Amino acid sequence: MTVAMIIGITGQDGLYMAELLSKKEYSIVGVVRDISKAKKIIPEVIKKRLKLVEWDMLDQSKIVEVLNDNRPKELYNFAAYSSGAGMFDDAVNIGDVNGLAVTRVLDAVRAVDTKIRFCQASSSEMFGEVAQSPQNELTEFSPRSPYGAAKVYAHSMIDVYRKKYGLFLCSAILFNHESPRRGHQFVTRKISYEAAKIKLGLSTELLLGDLDSYRDWGFAGDYVRGMWQMLQQKKADDYVFATGLVYSVRNLCEIAFSHLDLDYRDYVVSDSKSYRPPEKFQLVGDSSKARSELNWLPEMNFKSLISLMVDNDLENLMRHNNKNNMSDNK
């Protein structure tokens, strides 16, 4: 049975990867900071094939110990500080966890088993102030946040270790990818959640920044499938995963609210404090390399994705309200 280790299994991407690997009958080792908290998050269907292990991304000896004890064939790293509203918070720790810690893992792989196949979740935030659109694997990086800079460092070290030591190391350059598991600090989830609250009469307005900011948004489940495909190849390489299509925050609002038979213009208020400086070039991914070499294609379109997120938030809010009403009636 193939053993795969997932660092950061309780996050959006980690959970989707665990579900994918579980269906493929892998034995999964989930690396977390707190096992008791992780057990509350991870779905039961995943737990059947899962072993949870605690480690500290800053503890080199512990990383080596965990790898040595579990000997995974595949290793996926999703551990990172958020790329949402907190991209500029705590720059030192962001650099350590998102950047230097990846080098610790690479050193551990080199020490324990050079046959381990490793995949790093890189980010389109590495491109930053881009000079061209769309962006592909050869586009120059110009990060504009501590998050993006740390990701560039990790991405660069993967290339260094791959060339120097011949390790099977890959970077997946992921453009924005969303799901019902997305954190509330991200604009997609903020909109889907608040739209559902407004529908249920739990809120009356939604404050947002620039409604005409555009992004390349895809479904997280599609992107982790691409990462798995990367580790099945004969040669380690880096790939961009993106839809190649851009939508504005306004488009997002229109889809989310209309799915609930609401007009976003009645509820969305533009907040000038949340505006970002205008971008000269759009962040939009060119995933032609992944499409041609991996036969990868995104399967869920933008409208279906946003509708899925809205439905999930609406269902969860209704369930929560019903529980509260039952408690009040006791």
Annotated active-site positions, please? 123, 125, 147
According to DSSP H, which parts of 200-283 are helical?
Answer: 220-230, 249-258
SS3 at position 185: coil
What is the spatial distance between Cα 24 and Cα 172, in angstroms, rounded to a whole number?
21
Q: In the numeric block, which tokens belong to residue 97?
A: 């966890």
Is residue 311 within 8 A of residue 248, CB to CB? The reply is: no
CA angle 229, 234, 239 (to 5 degrees): 45
Q: In the numeric block, which tokens belong to residue 21?
A: 């690997």
CA dihedral 316, 318, 323, 326 (to 10 degrees): -170
**What are the distances in angstroms from CA 198 to CA 265, 268, 326?**
13, 10, 22
Query: Residue 115 gets which letter from DSSP?
Result: T
Beta strands (DSSP E) in 179-263 are 206-208, 214-215, 218-219, 239-241, 247-248
Is residue 305 within 8 A of residue 178, CB to CB? The reply is: yes
